Amino acid sequence: MGDPAEKTCPDASRRGLRDAPTPLVPPLTEFCQTYIVKKPLGLRITKNTFQVTHIDPNSPLRGLVFLGDTLSALNGKKIKKYETIEQILGEKAERVKMECQHGGFSCSKLLATTIERVHVGTDLDKPAGRIVSRYAVWLRFPDAENHSNSLGLTIKYDSRERLIVADVEPGSLGSIHLSPGDVIKEVNDQPVSSITMFIFNVNKSCVTTKTVKLTLECLAGGQEIHDEALVADDAVDIAVQHLEFLKRGQVDKARPALRTTTPQMGKHARG
C-alpha cells in the first residue's frame, strides 16, 4: 500500500512558508474479486451481513480474503440469505466459484529514524545506542459484529513495561504492517501504557470511525526489538573474558571454600 497523501496550508506558499505536512488516510476503496477454490472454504462469516470474521490457518483463501470482506456471490448466484450459502456449499462439487467484496484497508508511513532513548528516573532520558524507526500505521475496516480481535494482534508487556506485539495472526489486517517485537507507543495519537487502554481505544475506533492509527517503534533495518535487560558495559566485557577462558581451558580449579582437618589425639598422663 502507498503512503497517505499530504496536504499543506494553501496560504503557506503565498507567505513563503510551509506548514508541517498533515498525513491523511486515503479514502476507503472497495472492489470485488472472484476466486475458484476447493471446499471447505475455512471461513467464518456473519449470518446477516455475510462478512468474514475468522480465517482458518488451512483455508485455501488464506492471503486472498481478509477480515471484514463480504461474501457477495457463490457460483454466480448473489447471496441474499444465509441459507443460500449452506445450500451451495453442501453440493457435491469439489470446487466453488466465490465472489468477494474487499473492504479492509491499511497503509503505513515512516515518521522518523532516531536513537532509542530509555526513561531513567522521573525526568531523565538516556540514549540506549540503538537506531529505531517510528511508523504510523492506519488500519481501516468496514462494519463487523466482533471487534474484540479485529486486528489479529496479541499484546504483552516487556521487561521495561512497554506494550509490544507478542504475536500476529497470519492473514489478519494487522499482519500486513505489524510484526512481533514492535513497540506500540500511541493509539490514535494518544499515548498508551496498558493493555486495557489499548483495547479500549481500538474498540472505540472500530465502533465510531472504523479507522485505527497506531504509532510504532522498531529497530531500523526491519529487525525486531527483543525483550532484553540493560546491563553495564564492563559487565559484558567481563562475561566475554570468562567465556574465552572457558574455551581455552585456562580456568583454574576452584579452591574449596571450607577446609577440614583431622583433630590430633591429646596426650594422657599415666599415674
Question: Are residues 159 and 64 part of one domain?
Answer: no
What is the average per-residue pLDDT within 16-20? 40
Residue 118 lies in a domain: yes
Q: Which of 139-143, 176-180, 223-227, 234-238 has the highest mean pLDDT?
A: 176-180
42-51, 80-89, 183-192: lowest mean pLDDT where? Answer: 42-51
What is the average per-residue pLDDT within 171-195? 85
Averaged pLDDT score across all residues of the chain: 73
What is the average per-residue pLDDT within 39-50? 87
- To the nearest whole percent, how much of the chain has pLDDT over 70? 62
What's the confidence (pLDDT) of residue 110? 82
What's the confidence (pLDDT) of residue 261? 62
Residue 8 lies in a domain: no
Residue 198 lies in a domain: yes
What is the average per-residue pLDDT within 188-209? 87
Question: Are residues 200 and 117 part of one domain?
Answer: yes
Question: Are residues 112 and 98 part of one domain?
Answer: no
Q: Is the pLDDT of residue 63 over 80?
A: no
Q: Which of 59-68, 126-135, 141-150 has the highest mean pLDDT?
A: 59-68
Q: What band does 250 get if pLDDT is binned at 50, 70 and 90?
A: low
Residue 121 half-sphere exposure toward CB, CA atoms < 13 A: 4
Question: Are residues 114 and 88 part of one domain?
Answer: no
**Nearest-angstrom CA–CA distance, 71 and 96:** 13
Q: What band does 10 get if pLDDT is binned at 50, 70 and 90?
A: very low
Question: Are residues 210 and 113 part of one domain?
Answer: yes
Q: Is the pLDDT of residue 95 over 90?
A: yes
Q: Contacts by 27-33 with C-beta closer than 8 Å and gap 24+?
A: 28/103, 28/105, 28/140, 28/142, 29/105, 30/101, 30/102, 30/103, 30/142, 31/101, 31/102, 32/72, 32/99, 32/100, 32/101, 32/102, 33/64, 33/99, 33/100, 33/102
**What's the pLDDT tens digit per position in 105-123?**
667 778 888 777 666 655 5
Higher-scoring residue by pLDDT: 137, 236:
137
Question: Are residues 41 and 145 part of one domain?
Answer: no
Question: Are residues 65 and 34 part of one domain?
Answer: yes
What's the confidence (pLDDT) of residue 120? 60
Question: Are residues 203 and 113 part of one domain?
Answer: yes
Residue 121 backbone zone (phi > 0: left; psi -120 to 50: alpha; other: beta): left
Residue where a domain stops, chosen among 102, 137, 157: 102
Structural domain of 78: 29-102
Residue where a domain stops, chosen among 85, 102, 119: 102
Q: What band does 159 get if pLDDT is binned at 50, 70 and 90?
A: confident
Q: Is the pLDDT of residue 200 over 80?
A: yes
Question: Are residues 179 and 153 part of one domain?
Answer: yes
Question: Are residues 51 and 151 part of one domain?
Answer: no
Question: Are residues 97 and 71 part of one domain?
Answer: yes
Residue 241 lies in a domain: no
Q: What band does 11 get if pLDDT is binned at 50, 70 and 90?
A: very low
Higher-scoring residue by pLDDT: 114, 124:
114
User: Which strand (E) or helix (H) includes residue 82?
Assistant: helix 82-89
Provide the number of structural domains found in the chain: 2
Q: What is the CATH number of the domain that holds 190?
A: 2.30.42.10
Q: Is the pLDDT of residue 195 over 80?
A: yes
Residue 130 lies in a domain: yes
Question: Are residues 141 and 98 part of one domain?
Answer: no
